[in-house]
């Protein structure tokens, strides 16, 4: 599946953690978010590689051994690298299309941005999500996006009865960079 660099960063994050847990501020309109995303540089078509580094992971109230079991249930998040081809048609859509898709929600999860600011190539955002079985999450994203790379730091908190101890906290770094032209 092909993804824009920012989309792969953010959508992978949602798949890993839902999206994070305190009361949301007034939601930012989808139109404003899409306009802000349009201020980021248009990504160049080509082959991209994305790497994920887990910086911290905790489940308050659980022993380290129990927290490691929960971490294991998520799969090995850290140290993963994957590649994809960004086609010229996908590149033309820019980051706006990625943000539009994120705003639509997936898998019964309803997410809203309480902050989405772009300044030059820098992005700073906060998102709250609610989902099935009482899942409530909050995510903060800070990073940079250029025509050939993204570097995003994410801090997430997720609360749900499905997690032993009721809460999980995770920090990760996701970097994506263009490595050349797509191979056929």
**pLDDT > 60? residue 3:** no
Range of the domain at 31: 5-180
What is the biggest distance separating any 2 CA atoms in the chain, rounded to whole angstroms? 50
Q: Please tell me the number of Cα atoms within 13 Å of 115 on its side-chain side.
A: 12
For 77-126, what is each residue's pLDDT tens digit? 556 678 999 999 999 888 877 777 766 666 778 888 899 999 989 999 99
Q: Exposed (0-12), middle (13-18) or buried (19+): which is 174, by Cβ within 10 Å? A: buried
Beta-bridged to residue 174, according to DSSP, are 52, 152
CB 116 within 8 A of CB 32: yes
The residue behind tokens 């010229």 is: 88
Per-position DSSP letters for 83-127, written without gaps between them: EEEE-HHHHHHHHHHHHHHHHT-BTTBEEEEEEEEEETTEEEEEE
**pLDDT > 90? residue 157:** yes
Structure tokens at 169: 């906290």
User: Average pLDDT of the chain?
Assistant: 78
- Percent with pLDDT over 70 in the chain: 77
CB 127 within 8 A of CB 138: yes
CB 149 within 8 A of CB 178: yes
The pLDDT value given to residue 133: 81
The pLDDT value given to residue 104: 62
Alpha-carbon distance of 57 to 74, in angstroms, equals 11
Residues 120-140: what's their mean pLDDT? 89
Tally the domains of the chain. 1
Range of weakest confidence among 1-10, 58-67, 81-90: 1-10
């Amino acid at each position: 599946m092909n993804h824009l660099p920012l989309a792969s960063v953010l959508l992978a994050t949602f798949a890993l953690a839902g999206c994070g847990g305190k009361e949301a501020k007034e939601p930012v309109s989808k139109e404003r978010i899409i306009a802000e995303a349009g201020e980021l540089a248009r990504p160049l078509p080509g082959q991209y590689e994305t790497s994920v580094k887990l910086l911290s992971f905790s489940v308050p109230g659980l022993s380290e051994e129990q927290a490691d079991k929960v971490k294991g249930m998520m799969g090995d998040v850290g140290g993963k690298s994957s590649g994809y081809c960004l086609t010229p048609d996908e590149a033309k859509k820019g980051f706006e299309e990625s943000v539009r898709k994120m705003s639509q929600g997936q898998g019964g999860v309803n997410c809203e941005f309480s902050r989405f600011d772009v300044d030059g190539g820098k992005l700073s955002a906060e998102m709250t999500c609610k989902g099935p079985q009482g899942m409530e999450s909050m995510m903060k994203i800070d990073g940079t996006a250029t025509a050939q790379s993204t570097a995003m730091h994410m801090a997430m908190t997720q609360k749900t009865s499905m997690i032993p101890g009721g809460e999980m906290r995770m920090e990760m770094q996701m970097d994506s960079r263009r490595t050349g032209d797509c191979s056929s």
